[in-house]
Chains A and B, each alone.
Chain A
Amino acid sequence: MNLYTYASPANFYRLAGKLIPWFAWGAGILTVWGLYISFFMAPTDFQQGEAYRIIFIHVPAAWMSMFIYMVMAFWGAIGLAFNTRLSFMMARALAPTGAMFTFVALWTGALWGKPMWGAWWVWDARLTSELILLFLYIGIIALWAAIDDIRRGDRAGSLLTLIGAINVPIIYFSVKWWNTLHQGSTINLMKAPSMAKIMLLGMLVLAIAAWFYTIAVALVRVRRVILERERQTEWVKAILEKEN
């Protein structure tokens, strides 16, 4: 079997159709499991009380917001380098979900900040850089919306994603660059986690759930984009006739 087969929109359309139910059900089951762990199994934090439980949504959303941006930059670079149509479609399909997770991370961050710092919003490094990431997403989506020509829009959006990707490392290292009152990263790959195992498990399960959700939603969206762009081809006409 040749993987490049799936670079063709027609083949990928069918593959995506088969994959979507798996990822959608996976996301649903993992979300229920993760929420059960985080609400009923994880112990109450002795410093932060029950309010800390928002971490189970906040951290996966923040991870996904940055990760999706890097994936978009990856697909944009592949598309610019190899001139593959499907890569641009993937980048476009991912952007709204990325913006959504960025917004969720900001929102839950504000909800968490109120009981912890006594303020809905503080201009701390990570909140601020997450806000800038949201601006980047909005800029890219606005650029796509403003360009009617598909080919130009794809390339322009990918170039903007790439130059914005230089900002993502700055987001990541901003904790070290600016002195702030945000607590240091809770999860550190280099040393043993400083939180209870069960809390970590809940967070990881929800992160994987967010991952599955993103894949499912992006595949649904990319199928729509494929249908729209390939509407003049025979195979799309055949599908549309069958559905009607």
Chain B
Amino acid sequence: MHRFVLAVLRRDLTLATRRRGDWLIAQFFFVMVASLFPLGVGPEPAMLARIGPGVLWVAATLASLLSLSRLFADDHRDGSLEHMVLSPEPTVLLVLGKSLAHWLIYGIPLLLVAPVLGIQFNLSWEAIWVLELSLLLGTPILSLLGGVGAALTLGLRGGGVLLTLLILPLYVPALIFGAGAVDGVMAGTGAEAHLSLLGAFFVLSLMIAPWIASAALRVSLE
């Protein structure tokens, strides 16, 4: 069972290393969106620190959505997706492996870039540390829920925009708890409550999202 997940994971990671441009685009998108905000609202350090956690979290969700529309699309186009779904292995594991690969390819680099942007937004080291923790717990949620949207909109006209419309409302709890954790530590009330709720939301997504995504994938491929 876990060998199938690992095989899917290895395949997607290999494909990603062969097309490095793809994942770099998502990271640059993250950096650029976050850098536009100071230009829009002004350079006062106190205000930037105030809006920083929210801006970084919103930018992270958008960057993740940008890459999600291709989660299944490339394999669908060359027909390999149907073969993987038709294989005797459960489709749930295929979706789980693909979501995990998406998180490793697009989520982990966000974690590496985020501290630099945190410094740009004048966040304290403590706040940056909590931001990292919240992104570590939160970005897998984005990949898991996004898998549902990618499966539902597979092969549709304007699928990318539609995916955004479907999935952004579902991201709201992750955004609230993720940005709330950083706000909490900056306000002195602590981040534990928000991080615990974020962790709970992660576990919930991990249990539910792959099943719904695999059902959606079967519906879309019928």
Name A's B-contacting residues (CB within 8 A): 80, 132, 135-136, 138-139, 142-143, 146-147, 151-152, 155-156, 159-160, 162-164, 166-167, 170, 177-178
Using Cβ atoms and an 8 Å threshold, which residues of chain A touch B219?
Answer: 152, 155-156, 159
Instruction: Say yes or no: is B172 at the interface (Cβ < 8 Å to chain A).
Output: yes
Given contacts A138-B165, A152-B219, A152-B222, contact A167 B170 (CB under 8 A): yes
CB-based contact B208/A146 at 8 Å:
no
CB-based contact A166/B208 at 8 Å:
yes
A171 to chain B, nearest CB (A): 10
Contact of A163 among B148, B153, B165, B173 (CB under 8 A): B148
Instruction: Say yes or no: is B104 at the interface (Cβ < 8 Å to chain A).
Output: no
Instruction: Say yes or no: is B215 at the interface (Cβ < 8 Å to chain A).
Output: yes
Using Cβ atoms and an 8 Å threshold, which residues of chain B touch A170?
Answer: 173
How many B residues, CB 8 Å from partner?
27
Look across to chain B and name the residue whose beta carbon is closest to the beta carbon of A145: B162
CB-based contact B169/A132 at 8 Å:
yes
Residue of B158, B169, B215 with most chain A CB atoms under a 10 A cut-off: B169
CB-based contact A142/B162 at 8 Å:
yes
CB-based contact B172/A167 at 8 Å:
yes
Instruction: Say yes or no: is B166 at the interface (Cβ < 8 Å to chain A).
Output: yes
Residue of A136, A156, A178 with most chain B CB atoms under a 10 A cut-off: A156
Contact of B209 among A147, A163, A164, A167 (CB under 8 A): A163
Using Cβ atoms and an 8 Å threshold, which residues of chain A touch B216?
Answer: 155-156, 159
Contact of A146 among B158, B173, B204, B215 (CB under 8 A): B158
Instruction: Say yes or no: is B168 at the interface (Cβ < 8 Å to chain A).
Output: yes
A82 to chain B, nearest CB (A): 15
Bound Cα distance from A160 to B220, whole angstroms: 13
Bound Cα distance from A138 to B148, whole angstroms: 17
Q: Can you list the 6 inter-chain pairs with the closest CB atoms, starting with the nearest?
A: A135-B169, A155-B219, A139-B166, A156-B152, A146-B156, A139-B165
Interface residues of B in 127-171 (CB under 8 A from A): 145, 148, 152-153, 156-159, 162, 165-166, 168-170
Bound Cα distance from A160 to B204, whole angstroms: 16
Interface residues of B in 171-222 (CB under 8 A from A): 172-173, 176, 197, 204, 208-209, 212, 215-216, 219-220, 222
Bound Cα distance from A151 to B153, whole angstroms: 14
Given contacts A142-B162, A152-B222, contact A164 B152 (CB under 8 A): no
Bound Cα distance from A136 to B153, whole angstroms: 15
Using Cβ atoms and an 8 Å threshold, which residues of chain A touch B173?
Answer: 167, 170
Using Cβ atoms and an 8 Å threshold, which residues of chain A touch B172?
Answer: 132, 167
CB-based contact B222/A163 at 8 Å:
no
Using Cβ atoms and an 8 Å threshold, which residues of chain B touch A135?
Answer: 165, 168-169
CB-based contact A163/B215 at 8 Å:
no
Bound Cα distance from A152 to B217, whole angstroms: 10
Bound Cα distance from A196 to B184, whole angstroms: 40
Contact of A143 among B152, B212, B215 (CB under 8 A): B152
CB-based contact B148/A159 at 8 Å:
yes
CB-based contact A143/B166 at 8 Å:
yes
Bound Cα distance from A143 to B159, whole angstroms: 9
B208 to chain A, nearest CB (A): 7
Contact of B166 among A132, A152, A160 (CB under 8 A): A160
Bound Cα distance from A160 to B149, whole angstroms: 8
Look across to chain B and name the residue whose beta carbon is closest to the beta carbon of A140: B166
Interface string of B27-63 (1 = CB under 8 A from A): 0000000000000000000000000000000000000
Look across to chain B and name the residue whose beta carbon is closest to the beta carbon of A137: B169
Given contacts A143-B162, A170-B173, contact A160 B152 (CB under 8 A): yes
Given contacts A142-B162, A151-B222, A159-B216, contact A166 B204 (CB under 8 A): yes
Bound Cα distance from A186 to B173, whole angstroms: 25
Contact of B156 among A147, A151, A155 (CB under 8 A): A147
